[in-house]
Amino acid sequence: MKILAFESTCDETAVAVVEDGRTILTDQIFSQADLHAVYGGVVPEIASRCHVESISLLTERALEKAGITREEIDAVAVSYAPGLIGAVLVGVNFAKAAALALGVPLVPVHHIRGHIAANYLAYPELEPPFLCLAISGGNTLLIDVKDYTDMEILGQTRDDAAGECFDKTARVLGLPYPGGKPIDELSRGGDDTKYSFPISHIEGNPYDMSFSGLKTAVINLVHNAAQKGEELDRRALAASFTKAVSDSLVPRAIAAAKEKRRARLVVAGGVAANSRIRADFQKAAAENGLELFIPPLRLCGDNGAMIGAQGYYEYLAGVRAGSDLNAFATMDLNASFS
Ligand code: KG4
């Protein structure tokens, strides 16, 4: 079954064709990051306008690269939430028109479910159940994935997402947007014990997280040093910061996997590209006898293929959207469409 999939929730316009949820026939991505970099973050209206400009061309290119005709498309999948509302609307409306024109079903996909499904593309042997940590620019969630479309949120950030924390830290250090990769590069070889940063503990739920205190601690450290004219060890700062993020995430994910008796641990989302976090997960998983799955770098960030992968399983579960499908800035991971 071939699914034409659309992703436009933030600053990547992406169109893919995925076969049977596991094989990428094509994955076309246009990243707007350079356009937003001058502003130090995503400008929602610019993102929406850019999606409008690029989505038709990307779709034509996707069909051409997949080497298939329009008649071979069996369904259309679209990321309908959560995200920047104006941006999501572009993908949703285009997908609705595509499904109508092709005369095929329209399948709505929750963006975070898509990030999780990126792992199905990378690891053909991976099947639920497993424990998943989803870490992206807008979301940080610990999820018990019981089945392809049956998930339970065990914990989540109470404030900033992990990726947002990377982006803000990069900004205060004068690094370009998006800041995760530049911080990753800067941190390599840095002394991660030089600066000590807070790690949150949330009363009431050991799996909930918070990153706003860490973000404020970095900002205060940098501003205080500037006021006193002190030079900071930027490499050590980036390494100490990344260690604090990793120490907030890895032990929680391991504990949740053990509590839920899951043998497999899956990491998903843009922040899963971080080299330190990947290495810490490898080590912790090995020590705890867990099988670890992290997507290759190209499938960590937003892409259309992950929407096509999850779209397949949503389709099998009978999930369909009507012609009144709307876009949503926020949406529960378990919102029901069937
Ligand atoms: O999943 P994603 O592409 O978009 C959302 O769905 O939000 O994630 C983007 C986030 C950004 O905050 C970016 O800085 C972060 O992922 N990121 C990284 C790395 N590469 C991207 N964070 C840490 N280390 C990286 N290597």
How many angstroms separate the alpha carbon of residue 104 from the centre of ligand 1?
Answer: 33
According to DSSP, residue 219 is labeled H
* Atom nearest to 301 CA in ligand 1: 3
Q: Are 131 and 239 in a shared domain?
A: yes
Ligand 1 centroid to Cα of residue 322, in Å, is 32
Report the candidate in 164, 148, 72 with the shortest Cα–Cα distance to residue 110: 148
What CATH number should be reported for the domain holding residue 191? 3.30.420.40
Distance 116 CA to ligand 1 centre (A): 14
Strand 130-135 and strand 106-110: the pairing is unpaired
Is residue 321 a part of any domain in this protein? no
Q: Is 285 domain-assigned?
A: yes
In order, the DSSP letters of 169-193 are HHHHTTPPSS-HHHHHHHHTT--TT
Type of residue found at 282: Q
**pLDDT per residue as tens digits for the range 8-24:** 999 999 999 999 999 99
Reported as a single tens digit per residue, the pLDDT across 147-203 is 999 999 999 999 999 999 999 999 999 999 999 999 999 999 999 999 999 999 999
- On whether both 148 and 110 belong to a single domain, the answer is no
Same domain, 136 and 262: yes
Determine the distance separating the centroid of ligand 1 and the alpha carbon of 202, expressed in angstroms. 24
- Model pTM? 0.96
Judge whether 75 and 317 are in contact, CB under 8 Å. Answer: no
The pLDDT assigned to 40 comes to 87
* Distance of alpha carbon 176 from alpha carbon 217, whole angstroms: 20
Does 294 lie in the same domain as 151? Answer: yes
Q: Are residues 263 and 308 in the same domain?
A: no
Each residue of 213-253: pLDDT tens digit? 999 999 999 999 999 999 999 999 999 999 999 999 999 99
Atom of ligand 1 nearest to the CA of 163: 12
182 CB near ligand 1 (under 6 Å): no
The verdict on 175 and 282 lying in the same domain is yes
Residue 23 is classified by DSSP as: E
Write out the residue range of the structural domain in which residue 110 sits: 2-116+301-316
Residue 166: CB within 6 Å of ligand 1?
Answer: yes
pLDDT tens digit sequence for 95-112:
999 999 999 999 999 999
- Our count of domains for the chain comes to 2
Q: Which residue, 256, 4, 241, 41, is CA-closest to 267? A: 256
Q: Are 252 and 286 in a shared domain?
A: yes
Tell me, using a 6 A CB cutoff, whether residue 86 lines ligand 1.
Answer: no
Question: Same domain for 97 and 205?
Answer: no
**pLDDT for the residue 7:** 98
Ligand 1 within 6 A of 187 CB?
A: no
Residues 131 and 156 in one domain: yes
Give the span between the Cα atoms of 309 and 45, in whole angstroms.
Answer: 29
Residues 158 and 289 in one domain: yes
From residue 162, alpha-carbon distances to 141, 223, 242, 272 in Å are 10, 21, 10, 10
pLDDT at 87 over 60: yes
pLDDT at 338 over 60: no
